[in-house]
Amino acid sequence: MKDLTVTRPFSEEDYNALLQQAVAVIETSRLRIAKQLNTIAMSSYWEIGKLLDERKVDSKHGDSIVKRLSIDLKTKYPDMGLSPRNLWNMKRFYLRYFQYDTKVQQAVAVLPWSHNLLLMSYDLSPEYIVFYANEVYAKGWSRDMLNHALKSEFHLSIQAVEKSNNFDTTLPAQQADYANEVFRSSYNLGFIDAVEPLKELELERRLVQKITTFIMELGSGFSFIGNQHTLTCNDKEYRVDLLFFHRRLRSMVAIELKIGEFKPEYVGKMNFYLSLLDKLEKAPDENPSIGIILCAEKDHLEVELALQDVNKPIGVAEYQYLLPKNKLQELVTDEIKKSMGQNDPLIFGDPLLVFANRQKEGFSHQLHTQAEAV
């Protein structure tokens, strides 16, 4: 039998690492279950919408039919949000996407209902529908984050931005190609729920507080090592804002947060940090460390010139985090409606998840909350 005896005292750092890993396992499981429930919900809504269309139930002559259908369905399934308004939206959902290819249909099928309603309110091409659906699914965007991205036309900024890194000249060809896939030129940090500009330390604090969501925004393969990571050289201490390890790149990834626009001197500081990481902490089987300077805005030409003669792999990316100013008003309105017992599942959640919560107390209640962030 394997000896499980602890050979040294379990430090606070050891415990925090254990806790973080356990939380990550649970959060991953919740997300997986929530996504499965969403897929089932969308399949049901699609089929109901198709039925309404095939039976020629339209808004001009079918209002009384839909109201009656809603009453009868809610008698059997009171927690699935089968209101007349929601039934009409199911038909709208079907009509919006039935003429598109399976790629589009499969992309929206995994989204929460509230996200789909929001997407349908925008006149987007199939390409952009798939883009946003993939962002939501892969990175766990909440409805607020999706709304923020749509209002800021995030899809246009992603396509328009040129590469702002020197990976092609500082990494082997194969690794450089993959690094260009992993790292983007822009990130959506709307999940930190900021309604006014933040200072660097506060921005860092909020990102660490929601590190699981931040990792999902960064993409797959990232593991969080720590914030304000200390590097000691010649009796001096230097601190990296956020340090990660990317599993497939086999590289440490240092992220420096800047609240203002990009400045060329940031590159020199990052280059120094990467040299220290490679000298002090990089394992023999690991690839060179990569640095990402995350700033509020940048000028591509200025970034290109600043990186031109640098021998460490560094990228510069922009971020957006401010939510629409009416967010506070929405929150107040939500609370008022909830206190009055008028929290329509159509608006405040995904009906099938509400139904699931009523079936399974405790864990399912938390699952609903997590599903809202999917």
Q: Which CATH class is domain 162-320?
A: alpha beta
CA 362 → CA 31, 358, 359, distances in Å? Answer: 16, 10, 10
Show me where the domains of the chain are located. 18-156+349-372, 162-320
Residue 84 or 156, more confident? 84
At 236 the three-state DSSP class reads strand
The 3-state DSSP class for residue 272 equals: helix
Q: d(Cα 131, Cα 281) in Å, to the nearest integer?
A: 37
Query: Minimal CA–CA distance to 171: which of 316, 311, 300?
Result: 311
Interval 316-346: pLDDT, tens: 999 887 554 455 455 445 545 555 544 444 4
Measured CA to CA, the distance from residue 199 to residue 321 in angstroms comes to 12
The answer to whether 72 and 86 are in contact (CB under 8 A) is: no
CA dist., res. 118 & res. 130, Å (int): 14
Task: Say how far apart CA 163 and CA 71 lie, in whole Å.
Answer: 55
pTM of this prediction exceeds 0.75? no
Task: List alpha helices for the chain, DSSP H.
Answer: 12-54, 63-76, 84-97, 102-109, 113-120, 126-139, 143-151, 154-160, 167-170, 173-182, 200-209, 211-218, 265-280, 300-307, 327-339, 345-348, 351-359, 363-372
Report the half-sphere exposure of 81 (CA within 13 A, side-chain side): 27
* Sign of the torsion formed by the C-alpha atoms of 278, 282, 283 and 288: negative
- pLDDT band of residue 361 (cuts 50, 70, 90) is very low
Structure confidence at residue 226 (pLDDT): 92
Q: What is the pLDDT of residue 313?
A: 97
**How far apart (Å, rounded) are the C-alpha atoms in residues 49 and 40?**
14
Q: What is the pLDDT of residues 131-185, one digit of tens each?
A: 999 888 877 788 888 888 888 787 776 655 567 899 999 999 889 989 988 998 8
Least confident interval from 23-32, 236-245, 356-365: 356-365
**Alpha-carbon gap, residue 20 to 226, rounded angstroms:** 11
